[in-house]
A and B are shown apart, each in its own frame.
Chain A
Amino acid sequence: MRRLLTLGCALLLAAPVVARAQGKLNVIASTEDLASIGREIGGDRITIESIARGYQDPHFVEAKPSFILKLMRAEVLIVVGRDLEIGWLPPLIAQSRNAKVQPGARGYLDASQAAKILEIPTGQITRAMGDVHPQGNPHYWLDPENGGLIAKVIADRFSQLRPNDRAYFQQQLASFTTRLAEAVKRWTGLMAPYKGTKVVTYHRSYPNFAERFGLQVIGYVEPRPGIPPSPGHTLELIDEMKRQQIKIILMEPYFDQKTPNAIASQTGAQLLVLPPSVGGEKTITDYFKLFDYDVNLLVGALKKAGVKPGGSH
């Protein structure tokens, strides 16, 4: 009896140790941005894949059974949260048969928990406002500062699940945040002369980006989040853009360019397809290249538009 008990307890105690001594940590991220940050932290100690592609609308990913297979084997699932994936991720998780990645489990990581979240509604909200996110704007990864905060929660979670690799993950984190801090200096330096420039965007994808780089979003091509452009709203927007002399329209690659093009030609503004995610363009292969691309594109356009320091014309 005593031997059996000892053996049983030894096995119980040893089980997690054995599990931790396994190979690479298998991580699935819902978007390519989180996968890129996860890759920076995990290095060669993890395998990481994303579900959504950077060039597709992250609100409308299909819940394909092939994703269930990915989730079934995952030890960590990193999600954007704030209801961004509400239309497709819950059924995938429910069918994954994987206790490790169920919401509330240690393998389920909501990256928004540490990030700076904008546009959290404070009053009564209804769907008359369009597809508002009750927990705030989910496009928060577009502020590189948030990238650093996301990286930290990822490093902490990886360390919890692979305590033997803690030092490695923390070292990777330190390296990432140092490089990011340098890059942020570069990006904000490039954008600094144009601080206060007013822009129009298609969807509410860029509030964090705008705040970080000193842009001021004065209107949207969508009359309300998730609602396609309407003629009335478009006319109002054109008038407003003329009045305020708006020279830049930013849009996501997955929307139709017809209305933004019409607005651009009416107002003389430039239409920029500004990828909001890693993978949004072939050359954007990681989180740094995302901002490299977007900032360079913007600065080029602002120079072309003859925007002078301070955002005036």
Chain B
Amino acid sequence: MPVFRYGMALVFMATLLGGAPPASAQAPADAAQVRADLDQLRKDFEQLRQEYGQRIAALEAKLTAASASDTPSLAGAGAAAAAASSNGQQPPAPPEPASTSATAEPAIPPEQIPQVPVGAAAGGGSSGAPVYGGSPVAGSNAFNPDMAVIGNAVGATGVNRVAPEPALQLREAEISLQAVVDPYARADFFVSVGPEGAALEEGFITFPTLPGGVLMKVGKMKAAFGKVNTLHPHVLPWIDRPLAMNLVGGEDGINDAGVSVAKLIPNPWVFLEATGQVFRGESEDLFEPSKRSDLGFVGHLRGYQDISESANLDLGVSYARGHNPSGVADGIDAGRFTTDLFGIDATVRWRPLRRSIYHSFLGRSEVIWSRRGQPSGLQRGMGFYASGDYQVGRRWFAGVRIDRSANPTDVSLIDTGQSVTLTFRPSEFSQVRSQYRRTAYATGPTANEFLFQFQFAIGAHGAHPF
């Protein structure tokens, strides 16, 4: 029955194109009916096309008239009502120009009004023809990704004999490129350029609308282990990362190529999200595969609840597992040792909505346990940090942090630290931060340091950290 199939295909396509009248929902029984429907559709379409052509012409005429009289047009809402009731599908038309305009005359002669709203000039009244909807599209740039560069310059004074840092360095310039790929996916790239060269910090595709409420990411990404591991340096409330990050591979943490799947678990009480990630199994100073099958795994469960409109609680448990290189001798992984990490994290946030830009508090703690198999035996170590950051005013933030960590390869070596921070943010796009840090090292003298940081962002407006 090739004719029948051909007909059904046409019906199907017509439906996809959104043109199927409700009657076709009955699934027509024969091809003749389909043909008739199609002819009708074609006629309808042609009629619509003509109607729209006429309307556009009328609109153009109106616009010309409006710009000729140069009266900012203000509609009577009654006209809009009449238009609305006459045809629901009609594109929004500019309202009729009204001769009795309520528009204020500009206080300043038009030639003194800057093109761009700057400072105190250019009041409520606008000059020129009104703009309804639409927006300027920057031609060939229209599909370029959102781009931004964040500079992070860090200086240090004081004495640190164990982990000294230079007096001043541009620790990182992070270049971000983000855009929607197609109706099904978006892509995010973060390139980090530091003193040691450029590296792809993250690069992944996200499928936000998969069936079953699944959010999938594929590419190189920061693993969903705890909180700090997932954060880029510029959104941290400190200049450094807490000592406990030594247990998850240090500065870069778990950051690997893999696949991530996150699903919300529906329940009537709290926001609950489960994330499962499979990685290649290579993460600096933490995991190293000696075979293709030595994959790394990360699991995270996040629970969130609003306590009030101003306060909320965010809790998480994490697990990570992968092969470590301690058993590798002469290129052969004789030991086949693994590292297991467990983590819990808790965040409490407070931000009164009526004064949300002036005051807020963020308290956060993470505890991480490491079980590292190595030739000398199993090393079970623990690390944690607890911190609180209070927004004193619109631009000022103060914070404290205590941290502690065992050395993952020798858990008898324990470092402890205390920090206080003060941050000034001239705008959303720059900040100056100072941090006094005292670190008691197990392997050397206690360090007392004063760190300072200048951070600045140019380009697209990114999302505010939460």
**Residues on the A chain within 8 Å of B124, using CB:** 118, 206-211, 215-217
Q: Report if A96-B463 is in contact (Cβ < 8 Å); known contacts: A127-B429, A181-B76, A213-B102.
A: no
Closest 4 CB pairs of A and B: A210-B124, A177-B81, A114-B92, A217-B123
Tell me the nearest residue of chain B to A156, going by C-beta: B88
**Chain B residues with a Cβ under 8 A of chain A:** 1, 4-5, 8, 11-12, 15, 20, 22, 24-25, 27, 72, 74-78, 80-81, 83-85, 88-89, 92, 95, 102-107, 115-120, 122-126, 130-136, 180, 183, 186, 206, 208-210, 213-215, 264, 271, 273, 302, 304-306, 309, 312, 314, 349, 351, 353-358, 394-395, 427-429, 458, 461-464, 466
The reply to whether B78 and A214 contact each other, CB–CB distance below 8 Å, is no
Q: How far is the CA of A109 from the CA of B205 in the complex (A)?
A: 25
Q: Is there contact, CB below 8 Å, between B427 and A227? A: yes
Contact in complex: A64, B466 (CB < 8 Å): yes
**CB nearest to A212 among chain B residues:** B102
Q: A65-B304, A127-B458, A228-B395 are in contact. List 10 more A-B contacts (CB 8 A).
A: A13-B11, A53-B309, A62-B356, A65-B302, A121-B116, A122-B115, A123-B115, A136-B135, A149-B80, A178-B77
Q: List 20 A-B contacts (CB under 8 A).
A: A17-B22, A55-B354, A60-B357, A69-B264, A86-B461, A93-B208, A112-B133, A123-B115, A124-B116, A127-B429, A144-B77, A145-B75, A153-B92, A155-B84, A173-B84, A177-B81, A180-B77, A211-B126, A224-B118, A256-B355
Docked Cα-Cα span, A149 to B80, in Å, equals: 7
Min CB distance, B367 to chain A, in Å? 22
Residues of B within 8 A of A195 (CB): 102, 104
Tell whether, in the assembled complex, residue A173 and residue B81 are in contact, meaning their CB atoms are under 8 Å apart: yes
Report how far A60 CA is from B78 CA in the complex, Å: 35
Cα distance, A152 to B120, chains bound together (Å): 34
Q: Given A120-B135, A228-B395 in contact, is the A5-B8 Cβ separation under 8 Å? A: yes
Q: Are B264 and A72 in contact (CB under 8 A)?
A: yes
One digit per residue, 1 when the CB lies within 8 angstroms of any chain B CB and 0 when it does not, for chain A 46-65 equals 00000001011100111111
A291 within 8 A of B: no
Instruction: Tell me the bound Cα distance from A12 to B126 in angstroms.
Output: 51
Residue of B whose beta carbon sits closest to that of A93: B208
Whole-angstrom distance between the alpha carbons of A143 and B333 in the complex?
A: 71
Min C-beta distance of A19 to chain B, whole Å: 12
A305 within 8 A of B: no
Q: Which residues of A contact B312 (CB under 8 A)?
A: 64, 66
Task: Take A97-B264, A211-B102 as given contacts and tell me if A225 and B84 are in contact as well, using a CB distance cutoff of 8 Å.
Answer: no
A149 touching B92 by the CB < 8 A rule?
yes
Q: Note all chain A residues with C-beta closer than 8 A to B11.
A: 9, 13
Q: Would A10 and B131 count as touching, CB distance under 8 A?
A: no
**Cα separation A135 to B74 with both chains bound (whole Å):** 21
B126 in contact with A149 (CB, 8 Å): no
CB of B131 within 8 A of CB of A99, answer: no
A260 contacts B by Cβ under 8 Å:
no
Say yes or no: is A297 at the interface (Cβ < 8 Å to chain B): no
**Chain B hits for A17, CB < 8 A:** 22, 25
How many chain A residues touch B (Cβ–Cβ < 8 Å)?
Answer: 124
Whether the pair A214, B102 counts as a contact (CB closer than 8 A) is yes
With A and B bound together, what is the CA distance between A97 and B354 in angstroms?
30
Q: How far is the CB of B445 from chain A (nearest CB, A)?
A: 43
Q: Which of A127, A213, A240 has the most CB of B within 10 A?
A: A127
A residues with a Cβ closer than 8 A to B are: 2, 5-6, 9-10, 12-14, 16-17, 53, 55-57, 60-66, 68-69, 72, 82-83, 86-88, 90-91, 93-99, 102-105, 112-125, 127, 129-132, 135-137, 144-145, 148-149, 151-153, 155-156, 159, 163, 166, 169-171, 173-174, 176-178, 180-181, 184, 188, 191-192, 195-196, 198, 204, 206-220, 223-228, 233, 236-237, 240, 244, 253-256
**Is A65 within 8 A of B273, CB to CB?**
yes
Query: Which of B24, B105, B124, B271 has the most chain A CB atoms inside 10 A of its CB?
Result: B124
Closest to B92 in A: A114
Shortest distance from the beta carbon of A163 to any chain B beta carbon, whole Å: 8
Residues of A within 8 Å of B180, CB to CB, are 103-104
Bound CA–CA A253/B358 (angstroms): 13
A117-B116 contact given A5-B5, A174-B84, CB 8 Å threshold: no
Are A115 and B208 in contact, CB atoms less than 8 angstroms apart?
no
Please, how many angstroms separate the alpha-carbon atoms of A149 and B131 in the complex?
13
Bound-state CA distance A128–B8 (Å) is 60
A216–B159 CA distance with the chains assembled, in angstroms: 60
User: Judging by beta carbons under 8 Å apart, are A13 and B24 in contact?
Assistant: yes
The docked-state distance in angstroms from the alpha carbon of A105 to that of B182 is 12
Chain A residue, CB-CB nearest to B180: A103
- A98: which B residues are within 8 A, CB to CB? 209
Q: Cα distance A98–B214 when bound, in Å?
A: 10
Tell whether, in the assembled complex, residue A88 and residue B103 are in contact, meaning their CB atoms are under 8 Å apart.
Answer: no
Alpha-carbon separation in the docked complex, A46 to B1 (Å): 45
Contact: A226 with B354, CB < 8 Å? no
Are B131 and A132 closer than 8 Å at their CB atoms? no
| With A97-B209, A104-B183, A223-B119: A116-B132 Cβ-Cβ less than 8 Å | yes
For B215, give its contact among A57, A97, A206 (CB under 8 Å).
Answer: A97
Q: Is the CB of B102 within 8 A of A188?
A: yes
Of all chain B residues, which has the CB nearest A240?
B120
In the assembled complex, the Cα of A169 lies from the Cα of B351 at a distance in Å of 38
Q: With the chains together, A93 CA to B304 CA distance in Å?
A: 18
Contacts of B353 in A (CB 8 A): 53, 55-56
Looking across the interface, which residue of chain A has its beta carbon closest to that of B188?
A: A94
Q: Within the assembled complex, what's the spacing in Å between the Cα atoms of A12 and B8?
A: 11
Minimum CB–CB distance from A242 to chain B (whole Å) comes to: 14
* Cβ-defined contact, B208 with A95, below 8 A: yes
Assembly CA distance A17 to B210 (angstroms): 22
The smallest beta-carbon distance between B329 and chain A, in angstroms, is: 45
